Structure 1
Amino acid sequence: MTSVKEFRIEEPASDDELGAGSFVFTDDYSVFDWGKMPDTIPEKGASLCSMGAYNFELLEDEGIPTHYRGVIPAGSDDPVPLADVDEPPREMAIDLTQVPELPHEGREYDYDAYHEAAGENYLVPLEIVFRNRVPVGSSLRRRTDPADHGLDMETWPDDGVDLDDPIVEFSTKYEESDRYLSREEADAIAGTASIDDLEATALGVNRTVTDRAEDAGLTHEDGKIECLYYRGEIRVADVVGTFDENRFSYEGTQISKEVIRQYHKRTQPEWVEAVQDAKAKAKRRDIADWKSLCESAPEPLDDDVIQIARDLYAAGANAYVGRELFDAPQLDSAVGEVWRL
């Protein structure tokens, strides 16, 4: 189980064949790598499932292979296309690949052992991040200079930077605290999967999601994908192009999980600082489990904040998929409520 969706296995994957299973999207949410937070956002899971399914079907139409097999309507066991459901789905049928254990001692991870167990059918232990914009506060500004990305500026400006060409980065997937990697490090961690193919797949996904967002009146700022490797082919895995995996905005206002992240920064700064301190302390001590060192826990959200977040997810999903799947206000009204936060 992940922090926001449950994982069901019908047929396990083997060294030679993909398996079958599904994701069941819950209304849980996670910020700052905390995992399950103390409350839920109603219909959040269904909105992520709907957007993810819509994007997987777009990618398949574009010839980009994925692990998606359809959504499963309530009361059914058989996957169908998103267009065939009348109610927002919560379950998505997927092909399964192998995900071996990743041994580690402290913060040293043994990727050779991972790939020895994985063979030629495995989940690539990377997240591939693509950026169309570098906003104020982006970690990219702390880690790199504009010249590192071919940008004609000496330092990052005070406002956001819209990119003519997307920036692609690689980060770890299964380490306790994710870290960004050099291309050489990412290539080694990817195993048999080609780093060039992974990058090309990410750019293809980015184009598809960006074009659809523009048609829906949204701006797609950045996102990430995960991939599986099967018989020499890269396939997009996990879920793609949702308000949790990607950052979208509407007329300059965020409609992604970033809204909730920023709300916690404003209203629970002591907890956010404790998380940052615990991560830094774990790194100094070479301990993977930073959460055990955190000296405080998050508080639940107020009911009106939960309602605003719910409407934002639901209205955004309606706009993105081009259907009134959810009983929700129009997107401009839902975004207007965000300003109350």
Structure 2
Amino acid sequence: MTSVKEFRIDEEPTATELGKGAFVFTDDYSVFDWGKMPDEIPAKGASLCTMGAYNFEQLDAAGIGTHYEGVLVDGELTDLQTAIDAGSQPREMAISLTQVPKLPHETDGYDYETYHDTAGENYLVPLEIVFRNTVPAGSSLRERSAPPDHGLDTAEWPDEVVELPEPVVEFSTKYEEQDRYLPREEADRIAGQADIDALEAVAREVNEYLNRQAAEAGFAHEDGKIECLYYQGEIYVADVVGTFDENRFSYEGKEISKEVIRQYHKRTQPAWVEAVSEAKATASERNRADWKALCERQPEPLEGHSIEVASNLYQAGTNAYVGQEVFDAPAIEDTLERVERL
């Protein structure tokens, strides 16, 4: 199980064949890599399933291979539009499954050689491929590079959001307890048989599609990520693509993504956020994977009104993105006004 969606296996994958299964999207949420938080955000799961399915179907139509098979309504496989026309708000997404071997953690780090020895030619690439179109204040990219590295005519990062002349693609770890950005050479080694240039090319294609789709719906697509599976020499987009949890979007200059919830926790639970940061730093210094065991605080539940606003944010945002009234939610402009008052 992941932190916010359940994972069901109907047919196990093998060394030579993909399996069959489904994501079941819950209303759980996660921030700062904590995993399941103390409360739920109503309709969040259905919103993410709808948005993810919409993007997968568009990518498939554009010839970009994915592991998506359709949505499930009352156990029946169908396409998203048929489900919407029937008045459904699907929460289950049918997918092809690949192998995900255990990634051993030794005293000297993670053992990717064993991961790939087990995986063969059918496996989930243990990387997240991140693409950035903008660099907001607080972005980790500002710590790892300077503006001229990205074709910008300034020596220092300005305080405001910076639009990049060309998207930046980076690679980070997927299954390590703390995500870390990787030099290209290390990312190439961790990717195994999957070609690092091909992974980047797929990420750029997905980013270009998301930029177009977002613009058509009145959004700006700021950044996001994909995960990929490798199967018999081919690369397919996996996990979920282009949702408010995987990507950052803005609408008329206002943030509309999980970043809103992150920032809310920073304002209302700063002690917990700081404790998380300290625990991760301590774990890194001690070469420990279980940083949460070192955290001295637990997150508190959200206040009732903030849960309602967050729920409306996901639903109204999805309606606007797919261009249909899938959910009974306020207009996105009204919802964003309430977000600003949180």
When normalised by structure 2's length, the TM-score is 0.98
| Structure 2 residue aligned with 1:79 | 77
When normalised by structure 1's length, the TM-score is 0.98
Deviation string, structure 1 residues 15-43 (Cα, Å, up to 9, x no partner): 00000000000000000000000000000
Which residues of 2 match residues 132-281 of structure 1 at below 5 A? 132-281=133-282
3-state SS of paired residue (2:204): helix
Give the counterpart letter for 2:200 in structure 1: E
Tell me by how many angstroms 1:105 deviates.
1.6
Distance across 1 between alignment mates of 2:312 and 2:4? 18
Distance across 1 between alignment mates of 2:70 and 2:290? 36
Distance across 2 between alignment mates of 1:126 and 1:107? 19
Distance across 1 between alignment mates of 2:150 and 2:293? 37
Tell me by how many angstroms 1:155 deviates.
1.6
Tell me by how many angstroms 1:107 deviates.
6.4
3-state SS of paired residue (1:313): helix
| Structure 2 residue aligned with 1:301 | 302
- Are 2:151 and 2:165, in contact at CA under 8 Å, matched by a contact in 1? no
Q: Does 1:283 align with 2:284?
A: yes
- Are 1:107 and 1:287, in contact at CA under 8 Å, matched by a contact in 2? no
| Structure 2 residue aligned with 1:16 | 16
Deviation string, structure 1 residues 242-283 (Cα, Å, up to 9, x no partner): 000000001111110000000000000000000000001111
Tell me by how many angstroms 1:148 deviates.
2.6
3-state SS of paired residue (1:222): strand
Distance across 1 between alignment mates of 2:184 and 2:154? 23
| Structure 1 residue aligned with 2:56 | 56
Deviation string, structure 1 residues 87-137 (Cα, Å, up to 9, x no partner): 110000000000001011246001010000000000000000000000111
Q: How many residues of Structure 1 are paired with residues of Structure 2 in the alignment?
A: 339
Tell me by how many angstroms 1:150 deviates.
3.3
- Are 2:150 and 2:164, in contact at CA under 8 Å, matched by a contact in 1? no
Unaligned runs of 5+ in 1: none
Distance across 2 between alignment mates of 1:119 and 1:151? 42
Distance across 2 between alignment mates of 1:29 and 1:185? 31
Tell me by how many angstroms 1:157 deviates.
1.5
Give the counterpart letter for 1:166 in structure 2: P
Give the counterpart letter for 2:121 in structure 1: E
- Are 1:51 and 1:317, in contact at CA under 8 Å, matched by a contact in 2? yes
Q: State which drifts further: 240-249 or 149-158.
A: 149-158
Unaligned runs of 5+ in 2: none
3-state SS of paired residue (2:9): strand
- Are 2:150 and 2:166, in contact at CA under 8 Å, matched by a contact in 1? no
- Are 2:150 and 2:165, in contact at CA under 8 Å, matched by a contact in 1? no
Distance across 1 between alignment mates of 2:280 and 2:255? 26
Tell me by how many angstroms 1:164 deviates.
2.1
Q: Percent identity?
A: 68
Give the counterpart letter for 1:189 in structure 2: I
Deviation string, structure 1 residues 282-324 (Cα, Å, up to 9, x no partner): 1111111100000000000000000000000000000111111
Distance across 2 between alignment mates of 1:181 and 1:323? 39
| Structure 2 residue aligned with 1:43 | 43
